[in-house]
Structure 1
Amino acid sequence: MEPNLYAPPTAAVTQPAGPADRGDEFLIVSARKFCILFFATFGVYQLYWSYMHWARYRAASGEYLWPLVRTLFAIFYTHALTARIDAVLRKTGRDHAWAPGAMATVYVIATVGNAVLDQLSARGIGSPHTDLLGVLALLPVGWSLLRIQRAANAACGDPRGESNARLTVANYAWIAIGAVLWLLILLGVAAAFGFSLDNGVDAAIPESTSSS
């Protein structure tokens, strides 16, 4: 029997992968690398972190948005970011237990609290306790962002962030800059508690008992 030249093709047609199937919808970072860069830079890393999440999501989804604006005003857009991460998780069927809204709320509250403490410290209100609390406030901010990052890794099909686990030369440069920042901050907190290098040296040197 001769083949029917007018029959439709019977070969299986594969659909192109949609935005949620690409695996690069968000920034992928291992937990270890995230913690090192976040805490070593005293939280400054979150600016790059937020920008890259939104930039990659825009590129993958085609959604019209401004990553820079959403980075500078992160407290207003973190809930939107976690909602998009959760939507990709659900669409791809990748299992990850987390509470997107709660993590975003913890981040917002901790960030606002940190900003308030910084303002009080700058005005000398409640010092030195506000100085110390301002440093400690970095912990809940970093914790909430780490939980969000782990969800983003899972949404991209790389739960452990193995594709971005190694520190680069640029990372080490930022860590070095962060070390200087940490030194200045800790010296400021020590000074607020009345401790200085001069006092420490004086305390270490016993008084002379010799008579003049």
Structure 2
Amino acid sequence: MSTSTFSPARAETTPAFFVVAVPKLIIMTLFTCGLYCLFWYLRNWELYRKATGEIMLLPRILWPEFFVYSLLNRVDRRIRASGRNYEWSPWWLACGILLTWGLGAHLWMVSLPIPEWIDALLMMIALFLLALGEVQRAINFCEGDPQGGGNAQFTVVNWLWISIVTLGWVAAS
């Protein structure tokens, strides 16, 4: 099977990656405590599989940390195959996402009994969201919608997700 399956005609009809406006991605990730980020990750792989038929989803679902760079690398290859260039580093962004996610999860566990660690946790969350936003800008560029305008509005389902998670936090406190 060919490693480059991009064709301009196919790209117009079959999106290979999930387009979403960066502000919406960040707000949804924050207000769903990361659940939207998991949806985002799985949706990207699902669309890529539909567009190319190249991958198996199960390993990517079970071990996402092993496939983040692979996802970003495929975005980069698709951009380059289209004859365009986008200034970014899939490798460094994948490292940033994995490090901030891992350190953030560790700090979350540590900060529960030690509130002094909350500033470090908030810094990890901010850096994670910054890296995630950069990745989404590249994906939006790849799909020909640099601002993510095709998915910028909040839907009823988005508000439902936010409400459920918010109510869960309120009930837990």
| Aligned residues of 2:104 and 2:124 also touching (Cα < 8 A) | yes
If you compute each CA radius of gyration, which structure gives the higher value, 1 or 2?
Answer: 1
| One-letter identity of the residue aligned with 1:148 | V
What is the TM-score with the length of structure 1 in the denominator?
0.70
Shift of 1:72: 4.2
Q: 1:117-196 counterparts in 2 under 5 A? A: 117-122=107-112, 124=113, 127-181=114-168, 183=170
Asked if 1:73 corresponds to 2:60, the answer is: no
Q: CA deviation at 1:151?
A: 0.5
RMSD, aligned CA: 2.1
Asked if the contact 1:20/1:61 (under 8 Å) is kept, the reply is no
Cα offset, 1:80, TM superposition: 0.6
Structure 1 position 119, deviation (Å): 2.8
Of all paired residues, the percent bearing the same amino acid is 30
Q: Are 1:36 and 2:23 counterparts?
A: no
Change (3 A) 1:160 1:116: same
Deviation at 1:62, TM superposition (A): 1.0
- How many residues in Structure 1 have an aligned counterpart in Structure 2? 165
SS, match of residue 137 in structure 1: helix
The residue that corresponds to 2:18 in the other structure is: 27
Runs of 4+ in 1 over 6 A off after TM superposition: none
Structure-2 change in CA distance of 1:76 and 1:145 (3 Å): same
Gaps of 5+ in 2: none
Deviation at 1:109, TM superposition (A): 0.5
What SS does the aligned partner of 2:121 have? helix
Alpha-carbon distance change, 109 to 174 in structure 1, aligned in 2, over 3 angstroms: same
The 1:184/1:151 distance shift into structure 2, 3 A limit, reads: farther
CA contact (8 A) 1:79 1:101 kept: yes
Q: Does residue 36 of structure 2 align to residue 49 of structure 1?
A: no
Conserved 8 A contact 2:6-2:82 = no
Equivalent-residue separation in structure 2 for 1:116 and 1:20 (angstroms):
42
